[in-house]
């Protein structure tokens, strides 16, 4: 029997958070090793665990997987969250890609100066409400189904809910003009595995704080343009 997946990353969101979300959505228990020192990171590098010298890294099914999209695709396929055919898989990829673009505006937010954070906050809300949320609102309205693709719960739904909650942390009423997305948020949040992940005490990580930012910079030995990919 295979052991639990093991996640190697910082004790914070970053790019690993979507992996946590997807494993939790699938009802899969996982372990984590948090990177807190340069020595830990260098040990992974010297041991050949980081193919492209980057985290996230996930040990799963005898593999040491890197590259966030590859990790997520594997988990989605393994746990039947990747559609029933090639067409559905293409739609899921397309929607996840759009959501990734939106998340990209949020990912580096903790590393910005106070002045730049205010500018980025406005950009995040503007992009969400003028480009991404209208697209998903239309998708849900046009097909009238409970989920984004094929009438069944998929990676695309998990990813979109994660993004919605991230944007709401920047503007709490951001969904006020999107009734379909409001209903979608309530619906997906009530799925038992998601509901459990959203409860206190889960492995979901809080908003990144100064300690997280300092740890990432120290471990990666970077002080500008930090990016865990």
Q: In the chain, what are the domain boundaries?
A: 6-79+198-220, 86-190
pLDDT band at 222 (very low <50, low <70, confident <90, very high): low
121: CB partners within 8 A, 6+ apart: 109, 170, 171
Per-residue pLDDT band at 228 (split at 50, 70, 90): very low
In tens, the pLDDT along 24-44 reads: 999 999 999 999 998 899 999
Give yes or no for residue 130 having a pLDDT over 60: yes
> Rounded to 5 degrees, what are φ and ψ at 157?
-70, -45
* Whole-structure pTM value: 0.93
User: What's the pLDDT tens digit per position in 174-199?
Assistant: 999 999 999 999 999 999 999 999 99
For residue 223, what pLDDT is reported?
A: 32
* Tokens, residue 29: 């228990």
For the domain made up of 6-79+198-220, give the CATH fold.
Glutaredoxin (3.40.30)
Q: What's the whole-number mean pLDDT along residues 125-136?
A: 97
The domain 86-190 is placed in CATH, from the list 2.40.40.20, 1.20.1050.10, 2.60.40.10, 3.30.70.1450, at 1.20.1050.10
Quote the pLDDT of residue 2: 64
- DSSP codes, the chain: -----EEEE-SS-GGGHHHHHHHHHTT---EEEE--SHHHHHHHHHTT--TTS-S-EEEETTEEEESHHHHHHHHHHHTT-S-SSHHHHHHHHHHHHHHHHHHHHHHTGGGS-HHHHHHHHHHHHHHIIIIIHHHHHHHHHHH--SSSSTTS--HHHHHHHHHHHHHHTT-TTTTTT-HHHHHHHHHHHTSHHHHHHHSTTSS------HHHHHHHHHHHT-SSS----
Calculate mean pLDDT across residues 2-10: 92
> Per the structure block, which two tokens stand in for 142?
């046009």
Question: Is residue 22 scored above 90 in pLDDT?
Answer: yes
pLDDT at 220: 87
- At 159, list the tokens: 């990813």
Mean pLDDT throughout 73-81? 98
At residue 229, does pLDDT exceed 90?
A: no
């Amino acid at each position: 029997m295979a052991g639990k997946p093991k996640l190697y990353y910082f004790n914070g969101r970053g790019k690993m958070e979507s992996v946590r979300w997807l494993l939790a959505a699938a009802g899969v228990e996982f372990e984590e090793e948090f990177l807190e020192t340069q020595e830990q990171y260098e040990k992974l590098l010297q041991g050949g665990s980081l193919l492209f010298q980057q985290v996230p890294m996930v040990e799963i099914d005898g593999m040491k997987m890197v590259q966030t999209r590859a990790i997520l695709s594997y988990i989605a396929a393994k746990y039947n969250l990747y559609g029933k055919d090639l067409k559905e898989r293409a739609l899921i990829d397309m929607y996840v890609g759009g959501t990734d673009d939106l998340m990209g505006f949020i990912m580096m937010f903790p590393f910005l100066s106070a002045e730049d954070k205010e500018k980025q906050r406005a950009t995040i809300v503007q992009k969400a409400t003028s480009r991404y949320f209208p697209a998903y609102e239309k998708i849900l309205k046009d097909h009238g189904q409970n989920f984004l693709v094929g009438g069944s719960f998929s990676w695309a739904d998990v990813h979109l809910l994660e993004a919605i909650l991230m944007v709401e942390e920047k503007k709490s009423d951001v969904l006020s003009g999107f009734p379909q997305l409001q209903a979608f948020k309530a619906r997906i949040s009530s799925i038992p595995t998601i509901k459990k992940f959203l409860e206190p005490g889960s492995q979901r990580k809080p908003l990144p704080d100064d300690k997280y930012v300092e740890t990432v910079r120290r471990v990666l030995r970077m002080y500008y343009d930090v990016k865990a990919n």
